[in-house]
A and B are shown apart, each in its own frame.
Chain A
Amino acid sequence: MSGDSPRQWLERIRGLPLPEHVRIMNVCGGHERSITMAGLRSALPENIELIPGPGCPVCICPEEDVFEAIQLALNEDIILVAFGDMLRVPVNAPRKDARSLEQARAMGADVRPIASPLEAARIARQNPGKPVVFFAAGFETTTAPVAALLVEGVPDNLFVLLSGRLTWPAVAMLLDSDTPGFDALVAPGHVSTVMGPEEWEFVVHKHSIPAAVAGFTAESLLAAMYSTLRQLLEDHRFLDNCYPELVQPGGNRRARQQLHQAMDVTDANWRGVGIIPDSGFALNTAYTRHDARREFPSYADDARKRAGEMPPGCDCAKVVLGKIYPNECRLFGIACRPRHPVGPCMVSDEGACRIWWSGGMREPVTKPKRMMA
């Protein structure tokens, strides 16, 4: 059935004897963008609710890590580089202080956006007399290249402020809770490409929740949704792979080996969510000489108001966990817009709020969450 058109997949889904209400969660900003841009919510039967879940690494990057990056950029004689999305992420600071890396740059700090870890190494080589701190936030697809960079070898003056996260532990946390909030899962395509689809088998085996890995076309996403619906209806669970052109058993073994070589898996904080066991990456002992957390002082201040939390009034934490839709937040489209974002979900291209706004889903909520939009 591969190669079938979105229309054919939609007809196939419409032909199923669907239950009254099925909630399918995705955990990838790229998936949510495709779903929104292709208008899949309105094309699917009303019984099916598509929920954007924890799929935005920028959104859950700990506020204290962003704060630390800002303080390093302002107070140390360094060049700070970070993926472009991170520059506009706001922290909870008084109005007179820098609330983002972008504002720190406006105050004179040397902050540079990069699109690849390779650029961090290049900037370090071009500035041998100056420490370069690479603030590296991201999920597995981004953290694996950071590991590859370290394993290949980097200049002595490059230091990594690592804020890498694994995707599956957040889903495990939801499923272990009393209210997971979904009945089926579309598993992420490029995370599975790197880490292997096997990471998601716990969803079907431990929790008996249908799951299918999807790519980024409407066809692949609809095929994955169809698979999970069939699994529900036939009461037969298995992890389906609807992105076989990229996702292979075991994933990218060399990339996983490099991750293992450079980093340990550790408990980690998710902004607005809290500590999730085994959900973060930390540089291992072989790479401590490149660890910015060891090289530079910590600017953490426990007395800072609302440290670690989302900004006041912002519901990004609930959006990230799929508890509410973006337009159920009181600030969405009113106080919080892409040009003046309050929360990280409106900053990042992978944030559900930003995606919904870009996709024209701009009205405040008029109906309860179920079967809205």
Chain B
Amino acid sequence: MVEAKGAPVDELLLDIHGLKTYFYTEEGVGLAVDGVDLQLRPGGTLGLAGESGCGKTMTALSILRLVQSPPGRVVGGKVLFGGRDLLELTEEEMRKIRGKEISMVFQEPMTALNPVLTIGEQISEMIQLHQGMDRRKAMVRVGEMLDLVRIPEARLRIREYPHQLSGGMRQRVMIAMALSCHPKLVIADEPTTALDVTTQAQILDLINRLKREMGVSIILITHNLGVIAEMTESVAIMYAGRVMEWIDGGEIFLRAKHPYTLGLLASFPKMEEDEDRLEAIQGTVPNIYKLLPGCKFSERCKYMSNRCGEEPPLIEVEEGHKIRCWLYTHEGVVY
């Protein structure tokens, strides 16, 4: 295995090796996540990008061991979090990690929040559970958290219900909740996808500020490559349950090379150029229950050759840059 350079293994907050999550259904076996390797340094932000069904959310749920079972099951790999393999923990130990050390922000706050509990009750519940505070102290803390995420008139909002807040405010509540127990890692799954673009800008600004102030690490899952470019210093582009390209450290998309990443970038609207016709990637994402052997992207790839009948490995072509494509094997270490 090639290790991520510049980041010794013992310094990593999260180190995932060969993670496999399969779904066992009547349709057959669905390879939702199939051998994913990811690394995250303390205080870092890792982006998981790709189109729907590429396995980015399943990877996150597998880290937290929240994959619905049956039909899903994590069947292989290691998820080392601060040196401990989360996949080896008992359910009891795992419960202490969820919410306390790793928490999650979901896409649609309206479905993630409980509609019959006030904002205050929902957040304080978690604080009471994990920090062992009593209700009154916990409520004070809730007020502080709502101030932190810049919710105006936080003392009044504590007593309101989710439906009384706007989409942006609800997402702030979700973030306050995720941060309320000072986690080391926050997994944000499409946190701004349901929001308008100006609200999205506010939330991204907030996440960046909180990241700096609280030193929390973030895994940001999104299909929006612009959000990835603005928020993260490393990105894994996923396709059919695999990492197709991994780029670490700055100006991610100026360095991208994989045909799939380039296709996604070509489909992404560019503000500064006039473009008449889009260069679209042909076809659709493959069905994870009916994957063909070989490179999973090959059926949509302009550069497909005979070689693609065999699946290429993920190879480090330069420092902080790995690609899963036969076009680049000659530049890197073949193993």
A and B pair up:
no
